[in-house]
Amino acid sequence: MDNPQFVWVDGKLVAWNDATIHITTLGTAGVSLVYEGIRAYWNADARKLFVLQLDEHLARFEQSIRLTRMRQTIPTAEIRAGILALVRANQCAQDTYIRPFAFVESTYYSGISNDQARLVINSMPNPLPVSGVRVVHACVSSWSRVTDNVMPPRVKASSNYLNSRYAMEEAKRNGYDIALLLNPSGKVAEAPGACLMIVRDGKIITPSVTSGILESITRETIIQLCREVLQIQVIERDVDRTELYIAQEAFLCGTGTEVTPIASVDRFTLGDGKIGALTQRIATLFQNLARGIDPRYPEWRTAV
Ligand code: PMP
């Protein structure tokens, strides 16, 4: 597949091949880069692209920049306009993945705060499967999730994903599709790139935002949909490992993952090992809203 034509760099649209950084920057980019993963959904009937929850993602991006004490010199409104300009310039007429990045450009680790954040946005045609098309087999990882006073998972920092990589690599090596990480207190936190919900007795249970998770926008959306549309009770609380084994249903949720059903955890089959009835309802509702097929919650969709 061809690369998109443009990348947005510090406020300007730059041709893909010219969007480069000096090789000596790489040493510190790894420990001082925060980003967002945003999805835009193509509605084929309306021939429109909708960016899902753009403002929520921008708010979290700003928060990640602030928590890592980078200095944001381009206002969020301008980044927002930049995202829309980039997607238009790249003529995206299909599902698209958009990532704004903020990083400190320095050739050595100084540890100095208030460094100016460089800002880059890229858009990519989205190769990932859409919601509900596959079920995954999960294991509980032998790695613990990073924790707030070590590497705060609330910050969407690229460095946190090394923890994710350890967990995913182990899971795949042992024949699973996905890892589920416990926090250092032994309670369930999240998957390497998604949050987790389980179903017990018709109720949704999900680890709370103080369990060592990224404050997922999809998780919030699903909680709201369950409460307001599906009239299903959602409980945010500590989740024990063994609850994963006895849940009737479980699913992952996140921007990339969307709603992905979990068939088994540590080879304990959940339900009949297929997508559960409630998970299916949530996945369908989410897809239709994201794509604007269901017109409710228009404030979640920004038309490009
Ligand atoms: N947790 C982690 C570690 C993630 O990388 C993601 C994906 N951004 C999520 C949860 C889900 O967050 P969101 O719904 O905001 O994409």
- Domains observed in the chain: 6-125 (3.30.470.10), 136-290 (3.20.10.10)
Q: Collapse the DSSP code of 227 into the 3-class scheme (helix H, G, I; strand E, B; otherwise coil) and give the result.
A: helix
Task: Supply the pLDDT for residue 128.
Answer: 67
Mean pLDDT on 7-29: 85
Task: Supply the pLDDT for residue 23.
Answer: 77
Calculate the average pLDDT of the chain. Answer: 93
Give, for ligand 1, the residue of 214, 222, 259 to mutate: max count of ligand atoms closer than 8 Å to Cβ. Answer: 214
Of ligand 1's listed atoms, the one at least distance from the Cα of 219 is 14
Task: Supply the pLDDT for residue 1.
Answer: 62
- Report the separation in Å between the CA atom of 36 and the middle of ligand 1, taken as the mean of its atom positions: 9
Task: Supply the pLDDT for residue 132.
Answer: 47
- Report the separation in Å between the CA atom of 268 and the middle of ligand 1, taken as the mean of its atom positions: 25
Mean pLDDT on 180-194: 98
Task: Supply the pLDDT for residue 270.
Answer: 98
Mark residue 186 as left, alpha or beta (left: phi above 0; alpha: psi -120 to 50; beta: remaining): left
Give, for ligand 1, the residue of 141, 197, 218, 257 to mutate: max count of ligand atoms closer than 8 Å to Cβ. Answer: 218
- Range 221-241 burial, b when 16+ CB lie within 10 A, else e: bbbebbeeeeebebebeebee
Our separate counts of H helices and E strands in the chain read 7, 18
Tokens of residue 213, six digits: 């998770």
Q: Collapse the DSSP code of 234 into the 3-class scheme (helix H, G, I; strand E, B; otherwise coil) and give the result.
A: strand
- Report the separation in Å between the CA atom of 100 and the middle of ligand 1, taken as the mean of its atom positions: 14
In the structure, what pLDDT confidence band is assigned to residue 108 with cuts at 50, 70 and 90? low
CA distance 102 to 3: 21
Of ligand 1's listed atoms, the one at least distance from the Cα of 57 is 15
Residue 200 DSSP one-character state: E
The model's pLDDT over 242-275, given as tens digits with 9 standing for 90+, comes to 999 999 999 999 999 999 999 999 999 999 999 9
- Report the separation in Å between the CA atom of 89 and the middle of ligand 1, taken as the mean of its atom positions: 27
CA distance 282 to 302: 21
- Report the separation in Å between the CA atom of 98 and the middle of ligand 1, taken as the mean of its atom positions: 14
16-30, 128-142, 152-166, range with greatest mean pLDDT: 152-166
Predicted TM-score (pTM) of the model is: 0.95
pLDDT for residue 114 is more than 70: no
Nearest CA to ligand 1 atom 3: 193
- Report the separation in Å between the CA atom of 195 and the middle of ligand 1, taken as the mean of its atom positions: 6
pLDDT for residue 41 is more than 90: yes
Of ligand 1's listed atoms, the one at least distance from the Cα of 164 is 3
Task: Supply the pLDDT for residue 96.
Answer: 94
Mean pLDDT on 62-78: 95
pLDDT for residue 158 is more than 80: yes
- Report the separation in Å between the CA atom of 255 and the middle of ligand 1, taken as the mean of its atom positions: 6
Q: Which of 207, 218, 214, 175 is nearest to 192 (CA)?
A: 214
In the structure, what pLDDT confidence band is assigned to residue 55 with cuts at 50, 70 and 90? very high
- Report the separation in Å between the CA atom of 293 and the middle of ligand 1, taken as the mean of its atom positions: 24
Pocket-forming residues, ligand 1, beta carbon under 6 Å? 37, 190, 193-195, 213-214, 216-219, 254-255
